[in-house]
Amino acid sequence: MNSAERDELCFLPATELVARIRSRELSPVELTEAVLDRMQEMDPLLHAFCTPTPEPARRRARRIADDLVRGRDPGPLVGVPLGIKDLLSTKGIRTTSGSWVYRDHIPDEDDIVVERVLAAGAICLGKTNTSEFGYSASGLNPLFPATRNPWDTASSPGGSSAGSAAAVAAGLGPVALGSDGGCSVRAPAALCGLVGMKPSMGRVPVYPGCRDERLPGVSGWESIEHIGPLTRTVADAALMLSVLAGPDPRDRHSIPCGDVDWIAAARDGGERPDTVAGLRVGFSPDLGYLPVDPEVRGVVERAVREVVEGQLGCHVRAVRPGWSDPAAAFSALIMAETDLSGMRAMADRHADRMSPHLVAWLRGPWTAQDFTDANIARKALVNAMARLMRDLDVLITPTTAVAAFPVGAHGPGTIDGTPVSQSAWIGFNYPANLTGQPAISVPAGRTGAGLPVGLQIIGRHLADGTVLRLAAAIERAAPWAQLRPSITAGAASITTRATARTVRG
């Protein structure tokens, strides 16, 4: 197999790879070797994987190939190579959470979602890079080199599922697992030109959690953390969610999922876009309070006007949600669900080995009133969102306020000439974490420099199927999976098949 054939294979969607493996047209061993070969070539520049596991991946591929020969069905993800975010526990595989303190930590159990993808026949390529304990929307931590965006290696891929997004965008596996406590699936999906879905709270069970409470000084964000896939197609996201979703008694928040046929929802939107005609869509380019890069705003507005309204026939109207920025409440709730005394003790011992922004955040003058006020603000947001959604099926916004910014930063210091905090660029994301609603980011187009721009779809409470259906219809109308980054240092470039139709950006 030459490098061109290898790369074609590495960029096929998981749904097609599964079909080829089941028909014996493709061996899981051949596929795994192709992806590992591309990883060896590309990842020294991207740093998507912090703990690659090539030999275990090869052994598992051989076992799956043997199962197929013997007539056994390995599962719906048969032979699919994937990366697993380094916040998710993997039995016997180092899981550092991007922290020097846990540089040698090896869990003794898998996270539920890891159990499920492995039971479904997936092949783990290794752990993907993340910000320290997930406390930043970047790929920066004190332990590993910064993850870089395949569309422009001088730029950030976003985060905290930085490595998972960079890996999928670069063809280092068709899918990856991420977690989203405020933006961390959707924001990197937007900056890397991918599909990233945060399902409704409780759809995908979380255990032991992205910050395992058994580790000294670490605790999870129990009421805001979601786990979801990063993929190149909506159908692949649906395939992953069909495996990930479903209740588990180890997560008291998990809920039955029988009301969502994930694969059918994506298929209906992709094959019958008329199923979304007439959807009531609210569109807000800024939520009434967020500064947005004009180019990003323009790309999303065109996608809404030309695709969502023009081609798909949705009823779009401008909305101004009416709530104030919940950033302060969101920050306080993160601290309220953190083992603050334990993490502060960790910072006292290891501050020089920790991310400075995290140490500063932990040492902030947090009070009990901050936490109670945050809960009150959260409930007000939940109520305001419920009132807004009474007359809407979905709310569409930009996914992020900017396209990819320079690697090494947690976010831009100014947006459209306005000085902002370094987390302001993710302001469209965390409202859905606070309310628990389903939300997905899909590509909307590109900036003049060729950087991806994401469009976010937020659904009604538990209306995951509607979100997937509309995302798939947008993909059919303006496909993006044929776009691939030509990985170069400091220069974004796009390789596109001549027949592709894209939303102009």
The whole-angstrom separation of Cα 186 and Cα 196 is: 5
Cβ neighbour number for residue 3 with a 10 Å cutoff: 11
- Region of 491 (left: φ > 0; alpha: ψ -120 to 50; beta: rest) is beta
Active site residue 160: yes
DSSP string, 375-423: HHHHHHHHHHHHHHHTT-SEEEEESSSSS--BTT-SS-SEETTEE--TT
In the three-class reduction of DSSP (H, G, I as helix; E, B as strand; rest coil), residue 198 is classed as: strand
Q: Give the CA-trace dihedral at 262, 309, 196, 118, to 10 degrees.
A: 20
Angle subtended at Cα 428 by Cα 426 and Cα 433, rounded to the nearest 5 degrees: 90
CB 412 within 8 A of CB 205: no
Active site residue 379: no
DSSP state of 303: I
**Token duo for residue 213:** 């409470």
Nearest to 496 by CA among 446, 434, 453, 460: 446
Helix or strand run (H / E) with residue 343:
helix 340-350
Active site residue 85: yes
Please name the residues in contact with 501: beta carbons below 8 A apart, sequence gap of 6 or more: 478, 479
140 Cα distance to chain centroid: 16
DSSP state of 311: I
Q: Which of 184, 355, 423, 441 is catalytic?
A: 184
| Strand ranges of the sheet holding 315-318, from the earlier edge strand across to the other edge | 49-52, 123-128, 81-85, 175-180, 226-231, 195-198, 439-446, 452-459, 394-398, 280-283, 315-318
Burial of residue 83, with CB atoms counted within 10 A of its CB: 0-12 exposed, 13-18 middle, 19 or more buried: buried
Q: Which of 131, 160, 179, 441 is catalytic?
A: 160
In the three-class reduction of DSSP (H, G, I as helix; E, B as strand; rest coil), residue 367 is classed as: coil
The whole-angstrom separation of Cα 473 and Cα 233 is: 11
Helix or strand run (H / E) with residue 268:
helix 262-271
The whole-angstrom separation of Cα 455 and Cα 137 is: 17
Residues marked active site are found at 85, 160, 184
